[in-house]
A and B are shown apart, each in its own frame.
Chain A
Amino acid sequence: MKPAPFAYCRPATLDEALDALARLGPDARVLAGGQSLVPALNMRLAQPSALVDINRVPGLDGIRLAPEGLVIGALARQEAVLRSPLVARHAPLIAQAMPHVAHLALRTRGTLGGSLALGDPAAELPACAVALDAVIRVARRGGEREVPAARFFRGIYATALEPGEILTAAVVPLRDASWRFHFGELARRHGDYALVGLATAARLDGGAIAEARLVFAGVGLTPVRATRGEAALVGRRPDAAALAAAGRALDADLDPPSDVHASAALRRHLARVLLARALAALVGAA
């Protein structure tokens, strides 16, 4: 189980990396943390002609507060995100999700940008990005563009990234203290991909839910926003009646797959379990 041969380069700047991608064409891939790409290479599921290793490109691994929000650089290692006081304070949903991401020896290498650019529908960070209305920053030759997370994930391992582009950061908008967050996940073993995951963001007003985001991982081709479930929560206190109403609504929101890991019926059940946990956490935080 060894990769097919490929060419390799390690540019020293973002411009060099963009030039290399342009020159090498669409069969070249960006190598960031490599914790998903390298297994795919080893199994020859991916056979790129070349890898452009961006690990030594400076300035892409920062985590900083800016007027537009918390800017997490694409090369910020998952372990650094997990331990970041800025993330804990300004993006607590992501802080809660990080311990579910793989294991220490993978988080030390795996990156925030890699998780987003891969677009695995069972992964934690894409669901968080959608629940937080994050903005994905993308560099291209001669410019930059921004894509809202809600429009970034297009299908299994498919994103809005175009050939020649490099994801450079995720910007998480800052929320005031009326917002509460919860991340929950059920997996066969700790560190495995989620059977179902749920990223919840809710704005509370006088103990009632004024606004809600319920974004599920592992139940579709992309992170899935349960808009009917969200609507069922609005105006209610996070109590048993709200859970029952939103739980019923989830049946229409979610059409999860059956696969070797779990049946669709089990995933529907687990989605409700996670919703119950999220609402219980909202009560605790209210």
Chain B
Amino acid sequence: MDARPEVEIALIVNGVPVRRRVEARKSLVDFLREDLELTGSHVGCEQGVCGACTLRVDGALARGCLMLAAQCDGSRVETIEGVAEAGEIADLQRAFAEANALQCGFCTPAMLLTADALLRDDPDLDATSARRGLSGNYCRCTGYHAIVDAVLAAARARREASRG
């Protein structure tokens, strides 16, 4: 098996098959932003700390800055664009707007995807577990209270909806 500085990759991005040639060193988030013009995944620290590039790879939350595009050959990648357009997180988006949970908006796409994963994992999550679960996502406007309020409001709404 040869190691190469450039690789061909074929993957599914937001449901759409994509085939490209990429530099091996290119991160997944740079590939999405620069090659596919999907700029909803943001680039902050590029070391996994700020969380702004959080997206889904094969259904699991991941940092777009800590994966190489080359690694995603054969994978299914979902970004905020795809998840939002599918209506999957419309309730969270509404809750964020109503709670004023975004100011500059830089952290918002990743906050939404992370909050969605937390709610799927624990529909009954409380403020403490919401804060803990979101602690890997930085808000540079420091608007954490409103973000936690929004997540808890969406949790309540999802619980009520599931009770029908």
Contacts and interface: CB of A to CB of B under 8 A. Distances in A.
Contacts of A34: 66-68, 71
Interface string A177-195: 0000000000001110000
Given A39-B47, A190-B132, A105 B63 contact: yes
Interface in A21-41: 24, 28, 31, 34-35, 38-39, 41
B136 A104 contact: yes
Interface in A185-211: 189-191
The residue in B3, B67, B135 that gathers the most chain A C-beta atoms within 10 A of its C-beta is B3
A6 B61 contact: no
Nearest to A109: B62
Interface of A: 1-12, 16, 19-20, 24, 28, 31, 34-35, 38-39, 41-43, 50-53, 55, 79, 102-106, 108-109, 189-191
Interface in B112-151: 114, 117-118, 132-133, 135-136
3 nearest A-B pairs in the assembled complex, by CB-CB distance: A103-B136, A8-B24, A7-B3
Contacts of A4: 25
Given A42-B27, A103-B51, A189-B135, A8 B70 contact: yes
Interface residues of B, number: 35
B6 to A, nearest CB: 9
Contacts, number: 115
B91 interface: no
Given A11-B1, A38-B66, A50-B3, A5 B48 contact: no
Given A7-B3, A191-B135, A105 B62 contact: yes
B4 A5 contact: no
A109 B67 contact: yes
Given A7-B24, A39-B48, A104 B1 contact: no
A51 B67 CA distance: 13
Nearest to A77: B60
B60 A108 contact: yes
B61 A104 contact: yes
A109 B66 contact: yes
A191 B50 CA distance: 12
A8 B1 contact: no
Given A10-B1, A34-B66, A106-B66, 5 more contacts: A42-B47, A51-B3, A53-B70, A79-B60, A105-B54
Contacts of A106: 48, 63, 66, 136
A47 to B, nearest CB: 10
A28 B63 CA distance: 23
Interface in B45-82: 46-48, 51, 54, 57, 60-63, 65-68, 70-71, 73
A6 B135 contact: no
B23 interface: yes
A38 B28 CA distance: 11
Contacts of B10: none
B1 A19 contact: yes
B5 interface: yes
